[in-house]
Amino acid sequence: MRKFAEDRERYCRQQSLLESKLLEKEAAMESWRKERDALVAALEVQLQKLLSSQAEKDKVIKELSEQSSKQPAEIMYAYPVLRKTPQGRLLMGPTEEANRSTVVVAGRARRKEEVLAEAAAFVRQNGGDPGDQFLVLAHCKIQFGKHQNQRFRWLLENSLGYAV
């Protein structure tokens, strides 16, 4: 009987010891769960910021690409692209577009300062550097003749023979 009482007492101590260890483990697990939940919440916030940032970047890229496609091709360069034959000779004749340009308005030519100011404004408006004198001169409008009000660069690209 004594042995039975000692065994029972020993098992009770072991059970209480195991229960206390189990409570400690459960407390540690609960602590880890809270820490995990906090980390997951922080990670979700960062992921949301990343996604919104990525969406914003995509939007900006799309806007920039739309803006670049809206800019006229003529401001991209000042030098004319001369038309050539397959053998490399310059084509002096007018293009179809130049043949359609026949409007001549009688009157006086505008002053040099006005023409240069208008060309500089055109260059600035289309994203060019108005300090680049060659670019400004290439976009000055012709003041007389068959191709009046066309830009000099356009004239060289579409009717080189007329310019020569």
- SS3 letters across 5-57: HHHHHHHHHHHHHHHHHHHHHHHHHHHHHHHHHHHHHHHHHHHHHHHHHHHHH
pLDDT tens string 38-69: 999 999 999 999 988 998 998 988 888 877 66
Alpha helices by DSSP H, 71-132: 96-100, 112-125
pLDDT of residue 71 exceeding 70, the answer is no
pTM: 0.51
What pLDDT score was predicted for residue 72?
54
One-letter amino acid for residue 111 of the chain: R
Confidence bin at 1 (pLDDT 50/70/90): confident
pLDDT of residue 75 exceeding 60, the answer is no
pLDDT tens string 117-159: 999 998 888 888 888 888 888 888 888 888 888 888 888 888 8
d(CA 119, CA 130): 8
Contacts of 105 (CB under 8 A, 6+ apart): 148, 149
Contact 95, 160 (CB under 8 A): no
pLDDT tens string 78-114: 778 888 889 988 888 888 888 787 667 777 888 889 9
Q: Which of 119, 145, 118 is nearest to 132 (CA)?
A: 119
Structure tokens at 99: 């043949």
What pLDDT score was predicted for residue 82?
84
